[in-house]
Amino acid sequence: MPPVSTNPPDVLKQPKKQSEFAVIREDEYLEPFEPAIKARTAKFNSWVETLNAHEGGLERFSKGYESYGLHALPNGDVKYREWAPNATSACLIGDFNGWDRAANPMTKNDFGVWECVVKSKGGQAAIPHNSKVKISMTTPSGERIERLPAWATRVVQDLTVSPIYDAVFWNPPKNERYTFKNSRPKQAPRAPKVYEAHVGISTPEPKIGSYKEFTRDVLPRIKDLGYNTIQLMAIMEHAYYASFGYQITSFFAISSRYGTPEELKELIDTAHGLGLTVLLDVVHSHASNNSADGLNHFDGSDHQYFHGGGKGRHELWDSRLFNYGHHEVLRFLLSNLRFYMEEYQFDGFRFDGVTSMLYVHHGIGTGFSGGYHEYFGDKVDEEAVVYLMLANTMLHELYPTCLTIAEDVSGMPALCRTVAEGGIGFDYRLAMAVPDMWIKLLKEAPSDESWDMGNIAFTLTNRRWKEKSIAYAESHDQALVGDKTLAFWLMDKEMYTNMSDLTERTPVIDRGLALHKMIRLITHALGGEGYLNFEGNEFGHPEWLDFPREGNGDSYQYARRQFNLIDDHLLRYKYLYAFDRAFNRLEDQYQWLSSPPAYVSLKNESDKVIVFERGNLLWIFNFHPTNSFTDYRVGTDWAGEYQVVLSSDDPEFGGHNRVDKSVKHFTTPMEWNGRKNWLQVYLPNRTVQVLAH
């Protein structure tokens, strides 16, 4: 029988009460913070109850775009609604009424919502398609202000006249409206392989590219490379091209720089026809400081959509911060997500600046150590957290195939767990420490002999249990001017003189080609449950990214992607492109991204070798700059026969053809490096070989 306690009954240890939240049951370090998780979940539930009681639930509440803004009625009338509680009078003006403030006055309800109906004359559209409109208001001080409708779906900019945008009423005739031909993918990608792209730079020519050019020229390349997901950046309208799309002025308008709404619909529909999932890089973390053509001071107040005072301003981004606790702000932002899902048929979102949203300090001057106390308490913006919970819940309930990705550098626990489990509801987070590691290695430890194999493996595998990550070696952040891409760090100026097969392969180019392939593949294989690449980086794009601005003479020289380089078969860029395509297609076959995390059996510092098993494949990386190894013994738990299915040393990938892929390798049943068997392979320096069991 079990031993009997000699403690008095009143001090007997009570059985541990099981938490209602799975994230706490599975992570004891979260136990002290259960009150915070309960509090945010209670606030989330309170919002759901409020919306159910007063708005018909999340489904109806998030379709505000159907009633706010400008809408053509069947009889030709146009109805306009706008929330502007601080305004004392309002009217709709534009080309259609000669900008007459007396022609179409608006009436205000008890909730600060203004409304008017512009009557049709003779059955004709009351406001012609593509004609300019504004809302004119007076403030309590008597000041007259004019703004672009906050829910405008089309705004245009004529830089020859002014940098300030004009709103236009987008209501094309039925025969000019794009009709979707392809349905969305029937399920979310098993493992997202994300091609991060910017329409404007997606042409080799020094100009702003168009939606039509992207559809024609870039979509086939993405499909050919084996990516299954596109992340479109800088789509929401932004006043300043060089902001990379991160200073949003009109949230419901897609950027007119690249073309029309109908042309973007065609792009997305064509992508769906190719089996591609399309994500929008959505910016709900902040908004442009502009007042003339943005949301700032929309109704003359400092605190309509945003927090008033310093709380509503991001000191580094010079932008405004939303008040996520306000009913109408939630309507605006949740409806914004629904609008892009419904109107344009996007398949999900990459949420920008999530770290800034999660914390009242916005991550400014804060280094996250990983201590759980950093993720809870008064440093957390609970209202923003609850907004993200509402957004993820709404999207996943209404669109079962929807995909959401969080850009968070802090490592917030349970970010990618469901709300029911105690989480915030994202599907994936970006593994932002990985590109930082690679850049640091190339920048601060240029000598390969000093690379720490243990640190590389740890950084690539250091992620939260049951939370999915999207790994990447570099994204648009590393491509921007002021930084360098991996290819540039590796090969720099020699890329301009020695990337032709007609020139000598210098040690710099040889190292660059080899490490570029190895860095990207080990990140792909070991770093997460998804993978991301910024367009052009797959073939080692030779230049940084710098948008036209005053500091560079408004030049488009670096605001483009030189896809022509891979079409020139004399250039070595084709090798990197081919390798990228090969490992994406190999993943389709062996599905390592959706396999359990890898088992790393070897991190040999002197040999510079990393060995691991994942996806029924044995991965062997030899990072040593000079040493090749004959009959190198590696461990594996899987007994039997192996054959190389991918070698970075193949000539088609710019390698030296030192790996004979016809050779079969057989295991010996003896423990090695903690594995049950071993086999022997030839490891050329600076190569990776992948063996199938």
pLDDT tens digits, one per residue of 90-145 = 999 999 999 999 999 999 999 999 999 999 988 788 999 999 999 999 999 999 99
Strands of 641-647's sheet in order across: 599-604, 609-614, 617-622, 687-692, 641-647, 664-666
pLDDT tens digits, one per residue of 466-510 = 999 999 999 988 877 767 899 999 998 899 999 999 999 999 999
- pLDDT recorded at residue 17: 66
Rounded alpha-carbon distances, angstroms, from residue 519 to 171, 434, 435, 454, 486: 49, 10, 10, 15, 9
Helix (H, G, I), strand (E, B) or coil at 613: strand
Answer yes or no: 452 catalytic. Answer: no
CB atoms < 10 A from the CB of 154, how many?
A: 24
Q: 193-198 and 530-534 as β-strands: parallel, antiparallel, unpaired?
A: parallel
- pLDDT recorded at residue 338: 98
Q: Which tokens go with 692?
A: 């199938």
Answer yes or no: 607 catalytic. Answer: no
Separation CA 168–CA 158 (nearest Å): 13
Do 599-692 and 69-176 fall under one CATH topology? yes
**What region does 544 belong to: left with phi over 0, alpha with psi -120 to 50, or beta?**
beta
- pLDDT recorded at residue 479: 78
Contact at 8 Å (CB) between 220 and 567? no
Contact at 8 Å (CB) between 690 and 676? no
What are the extents of the domains in the chain?
69-176, 599-692
Active-site residue, from 27, 82, 196, 407: 407
CATH for the stretch 69-176: 2.60.40.10
pLDDT < 50 regions, the chain: 1-15
Return the CATH number of 599-692, one of 3.40.640.10, 2.60.40.1180, 3.40.50.1100, 3.40.50.720.
Answer: 2.60.40.1180
Helix (H, G, I), strand (E, B) or coil at 476: helix
Active-site residue, from 166, 352, 580, 649: 352
Separation CA 274–CA 229 (nearest Å): 11
- pLDDT recorded at residue 543: 85
Q: Give 605's contacts (C-beta < 8 A, 6+ positions apart).
A: 452, 453, 454
Query: Closest Cα partner for 440 from 422, 454, 455?
Result: 455
Strand partners, 306: 322
Question: Position 43: which residue type?
Answer: K
Exposed, middle or buried: residue 192 (CB in 10 Å: 0-12, 13-18, 19+)? buried
Separation CA 317–CA 294 (nearest Å): 15
Helix (H, G, I), strand (E, B) or coil at 587: helix
Query: Closest Cα partner for 341 from 42, 63, 636, 581?
Result: 63
